[in-house]
Amino acid sequence: MSVLHAGLPAQGLDSAPYAYGAPDMQGDFKTLPEDFVVEEVLGFEPSGAGEHLFLQLQTDDQNTRYTVKCLARLFSVRPRQVSYSGLKDRRGLTSQWFSIHLPGVNPEPDAERLSAEGMTLLQHARHHRKLRIGTHKANGFHIRLRNLTPGNLEQRVQLVREQGVPNYFGAQRFGHGGGNVTEALHWAQAGELPQERALRSRVLSTLRSWYFNGSLGQRVAQGDWCRWTAGDPIMLDGSQSYFVEEAWSETLQQRFDRGDIHLGGWLPGADSPAVSSSHAQLLKQANIKPEPRPLRLLPRNLQLESHGDDLMLRFELPKGAYATSVLRELVQLNDRSGAQDK
């Protein structure tokens, strides 16, 4: 059986290189669901009319796919008629948007029935388009770390504010105990992709994320993850748009320092040279092309507040980024949830 990449273990970030060395502080993470609060920032207002019912729901200790099944049952539709912008994991309090395709009918959401299924209705509206993956703008996080040990936190916070952190995919992408990796290796060994759409997507995402993390980890270990290398895509902040330059300039450095642009790495495609032949075969079957992803993650509005031995953190991340990539550069996390989350 081939190995995906000589970088990260299947479990995720435990052995990934740190940008600023391993933190000297430890803290308990996700002791209670309310210790990890994430609020999806949609980035636009629903139009108020159309075939799609938008619901903003708060859920406690249930993941996105479970919520989709509940909504499909409550509104008597097929699960594929329920859409969302980003996957959220189970452990925590999550505020998230969903859309339900309801052409020709305009039911009023029943807050009591939703509540009985563990969902709190925050607001609802109609819209002319359904939600698609990546539609939302950002995610806001409110996180409590408990039982912090003493250490030099202020210096690390300043580094993270000014220089950011490596934009690793978090453990959620690879599944509990690395289960998604085992699954992807199975299909790579079989030489074909699964027919079921969700499983197919998960296999491809796992493979590509693993290669990205491994490549980024190598650059972090070498100390050049924030230094331009010939061929690096240069990405506009908050966008998938990118350009390539033949040389680095003072103007580009100034834009980089301001956070206007980021150096990028690649989510591989079928023809990417670093991909093993068995994995390339799967990417080729799906006609996957390389896509850029920023190497650096800059948390916005990072705020900290101490409460005895506990630490409250607030910050906002762009879609597709993982809070654990920020937290791990500040504090060594003792995950008390029994699960791996975004």
For residue 89, indicate whether it is catalytic: yes
CA 27 from centroid of its chain's CA atoms: 22
CA dist 322 and 38 (Å) reads: 11
Q: Which is nearest to 319 in space by CA: 203, 188, 167?
A: 167
Please provide the DSSP assignment of 36-90 as one string: EEEEEE--S---S-SSEEEEEEEEES--HHHHHHHHHHHTT--GGGEEESS---S
Q: In this structure, what token pair is assigned to residue 26? A: 């430890």
Cα(246)–Cα(208) distance, rounded to whole angstroms?
26
The Cα–Cα gap between 8 and 139 comes to 25
CA pseudo-torsion sign 13, 14, 15, 18: positive
- What CA–CA distances, in Å, run from 36 to 29, 121, 303, 335? 8, 19, 15, 11
The residue count of the chain comes to 342
Among 28, 89, 232, 341, which one carries the catalytic annotation? 89
Which tokens in the block code for residue 160?
């993270």
Q: Are 220 and 18 in contact (CB under 8 A)?
A: yes
* CA gap 12, 28 in Å, rounded: 18
Instruction: Identify the helix (H) or strand (E) that includes residue 324.
Output: helix 323-330
Ordered DSSP codes for 326-340: HHHHHSEEEE-SSS-
Positions marked catalytic: 89
